[in-house]
Amino acid sequence: MATLVWVIAAIAVLHPAGAWIWAVGAGAGSVVLLVIAARRQGRAAGALLALAAVATAFAGSAAAHVAAAEPSREALLDQGLDGGRAVTMDALIVGKVERTMSGWSFDAVASLVRVGDRSQSTSAPVSVRAAELPAGAAVDLGSLVTVRGTTFAADPGERAVVIVRASDLTVRAPPTGALATASALRHGLQHATRGLPQPAAGLISGLAVGDTSGVEPELDAAMKASSLSHLTAVSGANCALVVGLAFGLAALCGVRRAVRVAAGAIALLGFVLLVSPEPSVVRAAAMALVSMTALLLGRIGAGVSVLCVAVVLLLILDPWLALSLGFGLSAAATAALLLLAGPLAEGLSRWMPPALALAISVPLAAQLACGPLLVLIEPTVPALGLLANLVAAPAAPVATVVGLVACLTSSVPVIASGLTALAWVPAAWVAETARLVAAVPAGGVAWLEGLPGLLALAFVGAGVTALIVPHGIRFPRIRVAAALALALVGGVILATGPLSLVVERLRTPSEWAVAACDVGQGDAVLVRSLDRVALVDTGPEPDALRRCLDRFGIERLDLLVLTHFDLDHRGGLAAVVGRVDTVLHGPAEDAASRGVLSHLVAGGARAVAASEGLEGRLGAARWRVLWAGGAGYTGNDASVVIEAGGGDVPRAIFLGDLSAEPQTLLASRVIGPYDIVKVAHHGSADQDPRLYRRIAATAALLTVGENTYGHPRAETLTLLRGLGARSVRTDLSGAVALWLEDGAVRLWQERDVGAAR
């Protein structure tokens, strides 16, 4: 039943124009099934048909919800808000205000939209992205805000109709009632943790109430790498812990069972209000209720039934959950705890004490169920994730409970300060566990991407389960087949994952001094001298940059140069936050650019604004800024241009995305020849030949990927060929490495396709 509702809800939100067809069809199908069921003489067949009729009716209800919401969603898009249109919007914040790589993000429901001199009332969900929040303003769940910015249509299947990139944000009214009280308590907990040593201090609020705004970027990355990030998200485990405490305290008071259940329900409601009643928290609470119901009833079958009912009701109330990976993870984890944890504990107890077997079975069941979904986010399996969860298991609940009590008593500073000091100890335990596990080399196993990765890991999970659970004793052939299947999949994964990385590193020349990463349509170029490393731009997305850094064995960057803040030059920032010593950047022209720098600084980097003539050392080499924009130059034309060379580094110049006009001015300052030029703007046609004649490079790097602009343009390739430069394109050659050998520039290409001339 739940599966049918899930599938129909997903189809409806992906194709909302046909949602009414699905709704009407499901309703008619339900009636037909009920009629057939009533005429069946067999009780079992009749019951099965009746169940199918109910499932079909529920699926139709989910589709009907989508169809009913579609007119207001379409009306918002009809205002022309899907193409970067400037708007002013009144909205109610309905989701947690979270820090992102480039600022802040939250979900809201728009009530009034103004485009030019036109205004329209609405009630449509939107997603707001803001580089900065107004100082001192109560931007929190329940706040009424006015947002000015530009809008873009959200992807199909998203709950939000449009994404608003805010240039200005004003709070019209702060939260009221219970939401205001909850906001004050959360901020009180943050205030109480000030003065405690980092990074554990910032983790206390995350463990207690899911507020990760104080978690340092380096710790956040370590938590994700060690499979501990779920501890700072409000999950079903947090909710179950709160319910369990309330139930236990009520039992100690000697009240009857009904009162205990009521106490648990009230505590859960209060916890949801405290941490913010956004969809993910409500979802976690529902899954916690399922688990607690199964525990109270003492029957796994009943728990599974309640889980199915909870999933169906949530999908009817919010069909967009059908495409939410978080919802899938919650349901999978809950189902695993109900169905897998017990058999796994029973099987493991054959080789270890029952208490240890039970402790291992819970995180193992969750990892087996959630792992296939998680590889859709990051194609890496944390090999030490289970160990990290076992080590952190004794400390995390203590930090959560003590931190939660500190939050509830934050209006009494003395008590809150004492409790947060106590919570700091287990929080430090969790933080240090994450950092140590994340620091282990090869702690993550590279996995297949997308659907093949999901299926492969699900296959592995099934094999592991078959080997552990007790039925394998009665059916030895299952164990043998599972072992053979695991060996087969393991061999394939090793060949395409860790071993492929080893092979890539062995193929990559160790002498490299300049390396162009294959990151698609974007820039990411490494410079290395005496084990000191600089990176010029980060490419458009983190995964490609991570693969490049792994290939060239880069753990830390002494210098990061952000030539400008377009996405194809800074989109991969998440791969290096917390690993940068100094960031040299171009003009931070807007709040989004300043948010990027703030994130790097929070990760421990020192930010330095580029200025013409600024120079420094990188090992035995030197670098110097040749262009840093200036009066009247913005965007691409304000790109930082640097040169580097000396020692073991070929003389190189990196032109960012500079266009022909500023190139003309730059030409008078350039003294060639150079060994390497990073061609401006991915080889666009907007180039100044005089600059390239002054540069007179031996090798021309064209950092380019699949694009609709025709980059690199034929006229630019012709220009470079005419000047005697060897053009090397990352879209054809893959990663590229260059170095000096006997006074000449040597070139290595990942793919031996020859050079484009």
Q: What is the pLDDT of residue 153?
A: 80
Q: What is the pLDDT of residue 757?
A: 38
Q: What is the pLDDT of residues 546-562, one digit of tens each?
A: 888 988 989 899 999 99
CA–CA distances in Å: residue 265 to residues 66, 271, 274, 403, 565: 30, 10, 14, 21, 48
Q: What confidence tier does 346 reach under pLDDT thresholds 50, 70, 90?
A: confident
Residue whose pair of structure tokens reads 């709070």 in the numeric block: 171
Region of poorest pLDDT, from 4-8, 616-620, 687-691: 4-8
Q: Which of 287, 445, 463 is nearest to 375 (CA)?
A: 445
Q: Are the C-beta atoms of 211 and 186 separated by less than 8 Å? A: yes
Is pLDDT above 80 for 51? no
Q: What confidence tier does 298 reach under pLDDT thresholds 50, 70, 90?
A: low
CB atoms within 10 A of CB 76: 23
Q: What is the pLDDT of residues 388-404, one digit of tens each?
A: 888 888 888 888 889 88
Q: Of 315-319, 395-399, 693-697, give the range with the top mean pLDDT.
A: 693-697
Overall average pLDDT of the 102-123 stretch: 84
Q: Are the C-beta atoms of 626 and 643 separated by less than 8 Å? A: yes
Region of poorest pLDDT, from 13-27, 183-197, 535-549, 586-600: 586-600
Is pLDDT above 50 for 756? no
Q: What is the pLDDT of residue 679?
A: 96
Q: What confidence tier does 469 reach under pLDDT thresholds 50, 70, 90?
A: confident
Q: What is the pLDDT of residue 234?
A: 66
List b or e across 554-573, with b for residues whose CB sees 16 or more CB atoms inside 10 angstroms.
beebbbbbbbbbbebbbbbb
Overall average pLDDT of the 703-732 stretch: 91
Overall average pLDDT of the 251-266 stretch: 81
> Looking at per-residue confidence, does 492 or 555 come out higher?
555
> Tokens standing for 549?
């850094």
Q: What confidence tier does 475 reach under pLDDT thresholds 50, 70, 90?
A: low
Overall average pLDDT of the 712-739 stretch: 93
Q: What is the pLDDT of residue 446?
A: 66
Q: What is the pLDDT of residue 700?
A: 95
Q: What confidence tier does 750 reach under pLDDT thresholds 50, 70, 90?
A: confident
Q: Do the bridges between strand 162-173 and strand 380-382 make them parallel or antiparallel, or are there none, so unpaired?
A: unpaired
Is pLDDT above 60 for 376? yes
Q: What is the pLDDT of residues 501-548, one digit of tens each?
A: 555 666 788 899 999 999 999 999 999 999 899 999 999 888 789 888
Overall average pLDDT of the 615-635 stretch: 88
Is pLDDT above 70 for 43? no
Region of poorest pLDDT, from 51-55, 243-247, 482-486: 482-486
CA–CA distances in Å: residue 198 to residues 194, 202, 407, 529, 707: 9, 6, 19, 33, 44
Overall average pLDDT of the 283-297 stretch: 66
Q: What confidence tier does 755 reach under pLDDT thresholds 50, 70, 90?
A: very low
Alpha-carbon gap, residue 94 to 143, rounded angstroms: 8
Amino acid at 565: F
Overall average pLDDT of the 277-305 stretch: 66
Q: What confidence tier does 271 reach under pLDDT thresholds 50, 70, 90?
A: confident
What are the residues facing 110 on neighbouring strands?
91, 124
Q: Which of 174, 123, 115 is nearest to 150 (CA)?
A: 115
Q: Are the C-beta atoms of 734 and 713 separated by less than 8 Å? A: no
Region of poorest pLDDT, from 356-360, 534-538, 703-707: 356-360
To the nearest whole number, what is the mean pLDDT of the chain?
Answer: 83
> Tokens standing for 142?
């329940």
Residue 498 preceded by cis peptide, ω within 30: no
What are the residues facing 585 on neighbouring strands?
562, 609
Q: Are the C-beta atoms of 20 and 67 separated by less than 8 Å? A: yes
Is pLDDT above 80 for 701? yes
Using a CB cutoff of 8 Å and minimum separation of 24, what contacts does 229-234 make?
231/206, 231/207, 231/392, 231/396, 231/430, 232/203, 232/206, 232/207, 233/280, 234/209, 234/210, 234/275, 234/280, 234/281, 234/284
> In angstroms, what is the C-alpha Rg of the chain?
29
Region of poorest pLDDT, from 44-53, 153-162, 631-640, 708-717: 44-53
Q: Structure pTM? A: 0.66
Q: Do the bridges between strand 525-529 and strand 615-618 make them parallel or antiparallel, or are there none, so unpaired?
A: unpaired
Q: What confidence tier does 616 reach under pLDDT thresholds 50, 70, 90?
A: very high
Overall average pLDDT of the 140-149 stretch: 89
Region of poorest pLDDT, from 177-181, 197-201, 232-236, 417-421: 232-236
Q: What percent of the chain has pLDDT above 90?
A: 25
Q: What confidence tier does 295 reach under pLDDT thresholds 50, 70, 90?
A: low
Is pLDDT above 50 for 718? yes
Alpha-carbon gap, residue 134 to 169, rounded angstroms: 7
Overall average pLDDT of the 308-321 stretch: 85
CA–CA distances in Å: residue 161 to residues 65, 72, 320, 668: 15, 10, 12, 50
Is pLDDT above 60 for 442? no
Using a CB cutoff of 8 Å and minimum separation of 24, what contacts does 723-726 make?
723/692, 723/693, 723/696, 723/697, 724/696, 724/698, 725/677, 725/692, 725/697, 725/698, 725/699, 725/700, 726/698, 726/699, 726/700, 726/755, 726/757
Overall average pLDDT of the 663-685 stretch: 92
